[in-house]
Structure 1
Amino acid sequence: MDYIQQLNLGTATELALTTLVVFVLTQAVKQTKVPNQWMPWLSMAIGVAVGLLSVLVTADHNFLSGAVMGLLVGGFTSGLFDGFKGFQVKGDGK
C-alpha cells in the first residue's frame, strides 16, 4: 500500500476507506455463485468504482488517480485472498 502513497494517488484516509469498502464488497460477492476465477477481476472493477466514488465524495477533480488507486487496491485485495488460502488447514490435517 506504500506504493499508492508514493505515487500520490490518495491520502492515507482515502486509501484505508477504499481498502475497507473494496474488501467488504468483494467478500459479499464471494458469497454468491460467482466462480473464483473471476474474483480478481471483479475485485479490481469494484476497486475502480470505489476509487471513482471517493473522488466524487471528496470533491476532487483527478478521476484518473482515483481509478488507478482503486485498481491497485482491488488487486491488492484479491492478492490477500490468495495469500490467506495458503494458510488454510486441510480437512485431513496436512
Structure 2
Amino acid sequence: MQIIEGLNLIDVAQLTIIAVLCYVLTNSVKNTNTIDSKWMPFVSMGLGLVLAIVTALVFHDKEIGKAIIAGLLIGGWTSGMFDGVQGFLNNGGK
C-alpha cells in the first residue's frame, strides 16, 4: 500500500476508502460463489476502478486518470494479484 501511496496518484483518505470498500465488496462477491475464484482479481480491479472514479468525483479530484490508475492498482493489491494470475494460469489451481 505504501508503494501506491508513494506514486502520489491520490491522497491517503481516498486510498484508504477505496482499499477498504474494494476489499469488502470483493469478499462479498467471492462468498456468493457465483464467479469462479480465478476471475476474482479482475473483479476486484473492476471494483477498484469504479470506486476510484466515484471517490474522485466525491472528493472533487480534477485528475480522474490518476484515480483510475490507482483504482486498478488498489484492486489488484486487495485481491492478491499474484495469486490470481497463478490461479488463472494453472487452470484455477486444479
Q: What does residue 20 of structure 2 align with?
A: 20
- Which of the pair is proportionally richer in helix? 2
Q: What does residue 72 of structure 1 align with?
A: 73
Structure 1, unpaired ranges of 5+: 83-94
Alignment of 1:51-90 (within 5 A): 51-79=52-80, 82=83
| Pairs aligned (count) | 82
TM-score (normalizing by structure 2): 0.80
CA separation in 2, counterparts of 1:5 and 1:19? Answer: 12
Structure 1 position 66, deviation (Å): 0.6
1:51-93 CA-partner distances (Å, limit 9, x unpaired): 111110001111111111110110011118x5xxxxxxxxxxx
CA separation in 2, counterparts of 1:12 and 1:58? Answer: 12
Q: What does residue 3 of structure 1 align with?
A: 3
RMSD: 1.6
TM-score (normalizing by structure 1): 0.80
Q: What does residue 31 of structure 1 align with?
A: 31
Give the structure with higher Rg (CA): 1
Q: Which runs of 4+ in 1 moved over 2 A?
A: none
State the percentage of identical aligned residues: 37
